Chains A and B, each alone.
Chain A
Amino acid sequence: MSTLLSVNNLNIEAHTRTGVVQVVKDLSFSIRKGETLGVVGESGCGKTVTALSIMKLLPKETLKISSGNIIFNNKAINNLSDRELENIRGNEISMIFQEPMTSLNPLFTVGEQVAEVVRRHKKVSKERAWNRAIELLDLVKITNPEKKALDYPFQLSGGQRQRVMIAVALACEPKILIADEPTTALDVTIQAEILALINRLKDETGTAVMFITHDMAVVAQMADRVIVLYPGEKVEEGTVHEIFNNPKHEYTKSLLAAVPKLGEMVRRKYPEPMRLIGKGDTRIVKPIIGTDEPILSVKKLVTRYSIRGGLFQRIKAKVHAVEDISFTIMKGKTLSLVGESGCGKSTVGRSLIRLVEPASGEVYLDGQNILDLTVKDVRDARSKIQMVFQDPFASLNPQRPLFDQVAEPLRNYGIFRLEELQKRIGDLFDRVKLPRSFMKRYPHQLSGGQRQRIAIARALALNPKVIIADEPVSALDVSVQAQVLNLMMELQVDLGLSFLFISHDMAVVERVSHDVGVMYLGRLVEIGPRQAIFRNPHHPYTKDLLKAVPIADPSKRNTEREMNFKPLPSPIHDLTHDPKPSEYKKVAKDHYVLTTDCGY
């Protein structure tokens, strides 16, 4: 096959206030006609910068190509003027971006935005362009395209917007489609649909795809050939099978080892830490058994948010965020709640420590009903149950040194003596494996993984019995994610902690949990031991969810035919709506499936 695009000895420099940093070093690769080239690497490895440099979309002041050339269709395009490049952009090479929420202009209809690119590159009438736009929206499987073309981006879901972006990108039948993390911001079922769509369109149109991602599982699903980047350099290149079955470079090996693969825990009853490569990881990996003694039990929990409106801000409707949920967490074990965005899993976590007030239900912690307590007593109860949040950048105060941030819960609960604080916090820093010298630092001086360790240290400060971890590793790179997960599992063994682990990532959940609950539209549709849920799912939603998860194995690929997910119905109901109680069928020991209609 002939080469369509080749990048030769590309060097890119970032000009910052503190000096010049080389972000891409001597990078060469090529894309052939009709193939998908996967570009993988962790954040900061220069993959997005490389993609932007091909179309000369780098911010002019800060990022500069210092040497190298980019050849497209036997023509060097890195020296072209903006005017000449404009004819290539969107026409012969087009791009889709990570954030479907912000990549479309909010003030123009989606039809206009698709038609615009057609009008720009093909000399056609307004009407022809509009018809072509509708054709394209139909091609990317937007139902009822004539009507949807008149909608504004805010009226579409994230998945639909990404479809529109793909329609824009494919409008002029480009020779190369550059997809920069196109599914990272999407739910797993929508991700599966979009990936299948890109694959189908690639086959139909013969467009070559440069697919950039940090997610090894997605690469396995999409790529024909893969290049692996590690801070700005290409460390390995090969076919997708070579990379996954026979990686050569140490970094590729460690990257693959750090990815939890769905299905790899099927035969193991108890979760166990991941075996990581490199950094002298010689620990003996032992399963985490836990106990059968209940520590936290939740009965018939209901949480609703009010929607107010009108002249007097009366309650007009309610969001049924959590609808009649019951579960029990055992001492030393992990229960995971999985589900897609908007299913109410985070609200469950928040309801348990009354960050939001549940409408009804009971939450027993150590035999005490937290929902019955007065505001003052809840404060005491919260010392036994702590939270770790998703975003380690936003959940630490940027203005205070880390010592104070970890010390704050201790001070809140009456420990003020400096020597005692210093001893306790020193121990906590040791526990989460951060050097004690970090105590004087500020959050901006830490990496994402280190910040999440601080958040864990802060949660541990009061010796809690239960930790609610709300997507604790979703914002982290895979290798860091693996380290943080291992840390959490070690702490579980050492301190006998129980976790309520809230996540959308099925593979991570399979790795860490003893029990799993699957949530859909506020209800728990299925709950049971992890092995049972993953090996023998009963509820149709659980089955679809598992089917949608990309597997980090290029021999197991999803096709579009298998995808048939239903869009999420609205959880907003008027005040007269009286939902049925959740009823379950027992299918095996501790394994229950919802029989009430949940809308799926």
Chain B
Amino acid sequence: MLTVLLVVIILNFLMLHLAPGDIADTIAATMGGADEKDMIQLRTEYGLDQPFFIQLFQYVIKVAMLDLGNSHFYNMPVFDLIMERLPATLLLVFSAQIVSLSLGILLGVYAAQNPNGLSSLFVNMLSLFGYAAPVFWTGILLLIAFSLYIPIFPVAGMRDVTIESDNFFVHAFDVARHLFLPMITLASIFLAYYSRLCRASMLEVLGADFVRTAKAKGLSQRDILMKHALKNSLSPVITFAGLSFSAVVSGAILVETVYSWPGLGTLAFNSIIARDTPVLLGILIFSTLMVTVGNLLTDMVLRSIDPRIQGSQ
């Protein structure tokens, strides 16, 4: 995990290094130009005259000290900027993952009970829709339906600034109301994947020998499904959920943009438009961190389900 992070940081540095121009140029540009002498002075000040590996080393140390440089668009440290936006994205990503996983598994189990029946057809249709429909399209559609025509959910943002209350629950409810549509939009794609995968793996498990053993023991259909079969069919679903964590994070960028959700996604979007490289690189580091933490969590869950997975390191 640390290795992955280090590689990403080094890649980051390479991108910075390979891109035309450096910080001195940027600063000079914001000052409205500088002469050759000032430029040399700036470069010594920022250590840009040092050899490549020393610069790399210094960069890694800086990142490790959580110094990601300054955003020239927002004119504040990148780290503070990201920290301000991170909770919103985390909330969106994790709630979407949890909703899509739990609903997907439920639907999958339901469909697997009768693989040729209507319920199975419904799950298949739903997944097809989920695969096919682009997120921004679903997002806008939901927005029009549930904010404009039937205004039960707010159109954009994360909070209603007009609420004047000290009660924590009032605020929590407000955030939840704002969260609902973006979360559903983001969850819809992954719900499709998970339900489909869960249905397939349930069907496979239901044909396994130990399910026959469970039947021969006299267990009821419900016990066989919910105890013996479900636990066994979870592994592929959860493995896939872990792998798709990065897709959820990148999906979040689109969803956040559609709903003006004040998270890393909108920040990334604005930074791209403003060519704010330090912010983008900071976001890259943090999304890597998020994905690796997500994978770590998946591994931990898998290990708790399946005793055969053991620490081999």
Please give the residue numbers on chain A whose beta carbons come within 8 Å of chain B beta carbons, in ascending order: 55, 57, 82-83, 85-91, 94-95, 97, 99, 102-108, 116-117, 120-121, 152, 154, 165, 168, 309-311
Q: Does B308 contact A (CB under 8 A)?
A: yes
Whole-angstrom distance between the alpha carbons of A154 and B310 in the complex? 12
Distance in Å: Cβ of B2 to nearest Cβ of chain A: 11
Interface string of B19-52 (1 = CB under 8 A from A): 0000000000000000000000000000000000
Contact between A89 and B308, CB atoms less than 8 A apart: no
CA distance A57 to B216 in the complex (A): 7
Interface CB pairs A-B, < 8 A, 6: A57-B215, A90-B217, A97-B209, A99-B209, A106-B232, A108-B231
Binary contact readout B288-313 vs A (1 if CB under 8 angstroms, 0 otherwise):
00000000000000000111100011
Contact status of A89 and B231, CB under 8 A, knowing A105-B210, A107-B306, A107-B307: no
Q: Contact at B307–A152, with CB atoms within 8 Å?
A: yes
Q: Which of B210, B232, B305 contacts A103 (CB 8 A)?
A: B210
Would you give the shortest CB distance from A316 to chain B, in whole angstroms?
Answer: 10
Whole-angstrom CA separation of A311 from B221 in the bound complex: 45
Whose C-beta in chain B lies nearest to the C-beta of A114? Answer: B217
| Least CB separation from A52: chain B residue | B212
8 Å CB contact of A106 from B210, B214, B217 = B210
Q: Is the CB of B213 within 8 A of A97?
A: yes
Give chain A residues whose Cβ lies under 8 Å from the Cβ of B312: 309
Is B305 a contact partner of A121 (Cβ separation < 8 A)?
Answer: no
Q: A90-B218, A117-B217 are in contact. Are A102 and B208 (CB under 8 A)?
A: yes
The reply to whether the CB of B83 lies closer than 8 angstroms to some CB of chain A is: no
- Which secondary structure dominates chain A's binding surface? loop
Asked if B213 and A89 sit within 8 Å, CB to CB, the answer is no
| Chain B positions within 8 Å of A99 at CB level | 209
Q: Known: A97-B209, A106-B232. Contact between A154 and B308, CB under 8 A?
A: yes
Q: Are A152 and B308 in contact (CB under 8 A)?
A: yes
Minimum CB–CB distance from B310 to chain A (whole Å) comes to 10
Interface contact A104-B210, CB-CB below 8 Å: yes
Expressed in whole angstroms, the Cα–Cα distance for A256 and B283 within the complex equals 76
Of listed A95, A121, A310, residue having the most chain B CB within 10 A: A95
In whole angstroms, how far apart are the Cα atoms of A85 and B218 in the complex?
A: 7
Which 3 residue pairs of A and B lie closest in terms of their CB atoms, listed nearest first?
A: A89-B218, A90-B218, A90-B217
Residue of B213, B231, B312, B313 with most partner-chain A CB within 10 A: B213
Nearest-neighbor residue (CB-CB) of A92 within chain B: B218
B85 within 8 A of A: no
Partner of B217, one of A82, A89, A102, A311: A89
Partner of B218 from A102, A106, A108, A121 at Cβ < 8 Å:
A121
**Which residues of B in the span 214-248 have a Cβ within 8 Å of any Cβ on A?**
214-221, 228, 231-232
A391 to B307, CA, bound (A): 31
Please, which residue of chain A has its CB at the minimum distance from the CB of B211? A105
Query: Which residues of chain B come closer than 8 Å to A154, judged between CB atoms?
Result: 307-308
Q: Report whether B215 and A120 are in contact in the complex, using a CB–CB cutoff of 8 Å.
A: no
Q: Give the chain B neighbours of A117 by CB distance below 8 A.
A: 217-218
Task: Find out whether the CB atom of B313 lies under 8 angstroms from the CB atom of A311.
Answer: yes
A168 touching B213, Cβ below 8 Å: yes
A435 to B260, CA, bound (A): 75
Output the least CB separation between B279 and chain A (Å).
Answer: 34
A83, A95, A102, A121: the one contacting B210 at CB < 8 Å is: A102
Q: Which residues from B are CB-within-8-Å of A152?
A: 307-308
**Among the listed A107, A310, A311, which residue makes an inter-chain contact with B231, where contact means beta carbons less than 8 Å apart?**
A107
B218 touches A120 (CB 8 A): yes
Beta-carbon contact of A55 and B210 below 8 Å: no
Given the complex of chains A and B, what is the CA–CA distance between A106 and B307 in angstroms? 8
The answer to whether residues A86 and B219 also contact, given A107-B232, A152-B307, A309-B312 and a CB cut-off of 8 A, is yes
- Complex alpha-carbon distance, A95 and B220, angstroms: 16
Would you give the shortest CB distance from B222 to chain A, in whole angstroms? 11
Known contacts A105-B232, A106-B232; is-contact A120 B217 (Cβ 8 Å):
yes
Kindly state the separation between the CA atoms of A106 and B212 in the bound complex, as whole angstroms. Answer: 14
A88 cross-chain contacts in B, Cβ below 8 A: 218
**Given A82-B221, A106-B210: A90 touches B232 (CB 8 Å cut-off):** no
Which residue, A83, A89, A309, has most C-beta atoms of chain B within 10 A?
A89
Q: Which of A89, A108, A310, A311 contacts B215 (CB 8 A)?
A: A89
